[in-house]
A and B are shown apart, each in its own frame.
Chain A
């Protein structure tokens, strides 16, 4: 992450120096910072709503029931998480919301899942294998119906806006499989070994 972050900024400044876009990038730095804060604060509403709803579902035992249903899958994906851990319930809800294309609901559940996974983490500033797998799952998109782009297609006058659904499901299955498989593979590589990660090293 250190290298990626620094590279983005260095490339930006170098390109700006050559192209004379310096005023644009300094303006972009400030507007992006403002956008970041607005986005974070904007999340609070949906976050509170869905975390509230999730607590009700938890108290009613619904979340645990869902997690039990998915137990075989979770045992394979997150072998380090105990079977009845609340993290698995939150992960189940996050994946469910993602599949249905409910981004507003998926993010709060995902963050809740991360908090629960953090309770199992021996070194609080370093990601565990379960966290990395969960992130890879989430960032590879598991949604079945890409509602946003279908809406965009409809607005642009497509004859059949939803014709891409099958193709998207096929492509997203590939991306999810590869993301999870490579997470599993990387977790075994000495370079990414958790115990050996020193400040700055092994934590790209």
Chain B
């Protein structure tokens, strides 16, 4: 199973890179090189456009993490999550997940070292990682790339999704493992 997924993910991109231009050129007579260049042109400006949005959100998140406020938040929430039996060790992962993807992976690695990847905590944080996203980053670049500053309900809806992901991960792991 694991080998299959690894092989599949290794093949997907090269197959797309050869398949799409080949089909376009051979079947649809598309000038594939010109067409590619035309599309690729846009990449640069999108990258530049998102800079201010990403700086704003990453600076705020960076300061928040460096101050140690995360520890306070974990301490404040611990009594609540303790009531339902959610492991306190997994709480920082759930809280950090929408803020920082690389930070979350670091925490997960630490937990794998301490408890092992096949422990309940190890499995739980794996599922949390797999069922949620770095919401703040996604919001900053998706809306930043088109200069949308008023996000309306995008953030609350996304965070509700993340919260559900964590709760569902806990329930599913409790049932399956």
Binding site for B on A (CB under 8 A): 1, 4-5, 8-9, 11-16, 19, 21, 24-25, 27-29, 31-33, 35-37, 39-41, 43-45, 47-49, 51-62, 100-102, 105, 107-108, 110-112, 114-115, 117-118, 121, 124-127, 131-132, 134-136, 138-141, 143, 145-150, 152-154, 156-168, 170-172, 174-180, 182-183, 186-187, 189, 192, 194, 197, 202-204
Q: Contact at B161–A175, with CB atoms within 8 Å? A: yes
Contact indicator per residue, chain B 130-156, by CB within 8 Å of chain A (1) or not (0): 111111001101110111111111111
Q: For residue B72, which residues in chain A have a CB less than 8 angstroms away from its CB?
A: 15
Residue numbers in B under 8 Å from A35 (CB-CB): 58, 62
A5 CB contacts on chain B under 8 angstroms: 56-57, 60
Q: What are the residues of chain A within 8 A of B51 when measuring CB–CB?
A: 36-37, 40-41
Asked if residues A51 and B158 are in contact (CB atoms below 8 Å), the reply is no
Known: A55-B38, A156-B112, A167-B127. A140 touches B64 (CB 8 A): no
B153 and A53 contacting across the interface, CB-CB below 8 Å:
no
Complex: A1 Cα to B152 Cα, angstroms: 8
Shortest A202–chain B CB gap in Å is 7
Give the complex CA separation of A143 and B155 in angstroms.
20
Cβ of B165 and Cβ of A147 under 8 Å apart? no
Bound-complex Cα distance A144 to B71 (A):
32
Nearest-Cβ distance from residue B104 to partner chain A, whole angstroms = 9
Partner of A131, one of B55, B65, B143: B143
Bound-complex Cα distance A165 to B108 (A) = 17
Given the known inter-chain contacts A8-B64, A57-B20, please indicate yes or no for A164 contacting B126, CB distance below 8 A: yes
In the complex, which of the residues B5, B36, B112, B157 has the most CB atoms of chain A within 10 Å of its own CB atom? B157
CA distance A179 to B154 in the complex (A): 9
> Which residues from A are CB-within-8-Å of B82?
none
Please judge, given known A-B contacts A36-B55, A147-B9, A153-B117, whether A60 and B130 are in contact too, CB under 8 Å. Answer: no
Main secondary structure of the interface of A (DSSP, over half): helix
Picked from A57, A152, A165, the residue with its CB within 8 Å of the CB of B109 is A152
Inter-chain contact A132/B157, CB cutoff 8 Å: yes
- By a CB distance below 8 angstroms, the chain B residues around A108 are 43, 46
How many whole Å from B125's CB to the nearest CB in chain A? 8
Q: A33-B55, A36-B55, A136-B158 are in contact. List 16 more A-B contacts (CB 8 A).
A: A15-B72, A32-B58, A32-B62, A44-B44, A47-B47, A49-B43, A52-B35, A56-B20, A59-B24, A126-B148, A135-B139, A139-B139, A179-B164, A182-B156, A203-B152, A204-B153
CB-nearest residue of chain B to A45: B43
Interface assignment of B91: CB less than 8 Å from any CB of chain A: no
B7 interface contact, C-beta 8 A: no
Q: Mark B2-22, 1 if CB is under 8 A from A, else 0.
A: 100100010011001100110
A29 to B23 Cα, complex, angstroms:
48
Q: Which chain B residue shows the least CB distance to A153?
A: B117
- Encode B93-137 as 1/0 by CB contact (under 8 A) with A: 000001000000100110011001110001100111111111100
The answer to whether A31 touches B126, judged by C-beta atoms less than 8 angstroms apart, is no
CA distance A59 to B39 in the complex (A): 10
Contact A186 B156 (CB under 8 A): yes
CB distance from B82 to the nearest CB of A (A): 21
| Cα distance, A172 to B165, chains bound together (Å) | 6
Please state if B9 and A107 are interface contacts (CB–CB under 8 Å).
no
A15 adjacent to B67 (CB under 8 Å): yes
Contact A28 B147 (CB under 8 A): no
